[in-house]
Amino acid sequence: MLLQIVCDKYGVRMDIAMHMSDGIVDAPTSIGYGVIAAVGLALAAAGARRDLDERTAPMAGLVAAFVFATQMINFPVLPGVSGHLLGGALAAILVGPWAGALCVAIVLVVQALLFADGGLSALGTNITNMALVGTAAGFLVALALRRYALRGRGWLFAVAFTSALVNTVVAAASFVLQYWMGGSTGIGLGTVAVALLGVHTLIGVGEGLITALTVGAVAQVRPDLVYLLRTAPRRGAVAARPARPAEVAA
């Protein structure tokens, strides 16, 4: 997402994007979030090893490629303002939160290195916002609503839409938090917060539709590849109880 904010008081013009560029936050904030991102990705890598196998690992690659491709396509949300898919909720629903976080992080690294989309010094903040915080928020919503997603395709569509909407808004809120901690421009926190949260609520609607349509299409053809559905507890499953001494003797 790209949104231009003009601050007449300071004579500052700043392009604010969900992909934070160099210089929007100070060095201590960038370094701190770089450490957070590194720790988060290490945990995600460990979790992904547990979740992925020979059958599901190729799906993670496809999801990363899909997120990369769709992030290159902007859709209009307001006159002069456009947005693009973040992909955290989509990746988490399809391949799980750990692998999903890695998919989004890989996309962000490639974009920063090859397309200068987001600064290198801001890579930690961007990974934290979109790959870690946004993905986690979207998946937690999907997990909380999973019992409804199991009722049918329409319910799955609604759950995926809601998860993606929350993912987008929470990622934007994380950006605002980082700006509050170490914003280094002359633009006020209130201006940044209203602009980012307001516009990303609208962007979240577009993200929700893309996510819902994609998840629905995959679930219709291969529901066994949708992590949210594949890992759901089976209905009627009863935990085995210990055998009584009389039963063992018999």
Domain assignments of the chain as residue spans, ordered by start = 2-232
> Could you give the CA distance from residue 243 to residue 222 in angstroms, rounded to a whole number?
39
Residue 11 has pLDDT above 50, yes or no: no
Q: What is the pLDDT of residues 33-90, one digit of tens each?
A: 999 999 999 999 999 999 888 888 999 999 999 999 888 776 665 555 556 788 999 9
Nearest one of 34, 16, 21 to 118, comparing CA atoms:
21
CA atoms within 13 A on the CB side of 194: 6
CATH fold for the domain made of 2-232: Arp2/3 complex 21 kDa subunit ARPC3 (1.10.1760)
pTM of the model: 0.84
Angle, CA 155 vertex, CA 47 and CA 231 arms, to 5°: 25
DSSP 242: P
> Could you give the CA distance from residue 111 to residue 11 in angstroms, rounded to a whole number?
30
Instruction: Give the percent of the chain with pLDDT over 70.
Output: 82
Whether 93 and 160 have beta carbons less than 8 Å apart is answered as: yes
Q: Mean pLDDT for the chain?
A: 83
Q: State the amino acid at position 128 in one-letter form.
A: T
Whether 77 and 196 have beta carbons less than 8 Å apart is answered as: no
Report the pLDDT averaged over residues 2-14.
40
Q: What is the pLDDT of residues 123-136, one digit of tens each?
A: 999 999 999 999 99
Q: How many angstroms separate the Cα of 238 from the Cα of each of 174, 196, 234, 241?
A: 41, 47, 9, 9
